Amino acid sequence: MKILDIITAVLIVVGGLNWGLWGAFQFDLVATIGGGNTGMLARLVYCLVGLSALYQALSIRGIQSRWHCAA
């Protein structure tokens, strides 16, 4: 499960950076790379980022125990 934790964490960072770029410069990097904000690749990335955030939010206690972190 640690690999899933890492993948979802990376996707959340991608999403956060994308939101930061949008807020600062109104530039959507995912849409630029993925063929517009309705492009198939961009929509896939948006969905994966959202699912990653949901996974991380719902499994924070399990992640902490797998990584031996304090609660």
Contacts of 42 (CB under 8 A, 6+ apart): 30, 31, 33, 34, 35, 36
Domain ranges of the chain: 2-66
- Give the Cα separation of 18 and 12 in Å (integer): 10
Q: Provide the CB-side half-sphere exposure for 23 (13 A, CA).
A: 6
Q: What is the pLDDT of residue 59?
A: 84
Q: Say if CB 16 and CB 60 are below 8 A apart.
A: no
- Give the Cα separation of 35 and 68 in Å (integer): 40
User: What pLDDT, in 10s, does the model give residues 13-68?
Assistant: 999 999 999 999 999 999 999 999 999 999 999 999 999 999 988 887 777 777 77
Q: What is the pLDDT of residue 64?
A: 72
Verdict on whether the full-model pTM lies above 0.85: no
Q: What is the pLDDT of residue 71?
A: 55
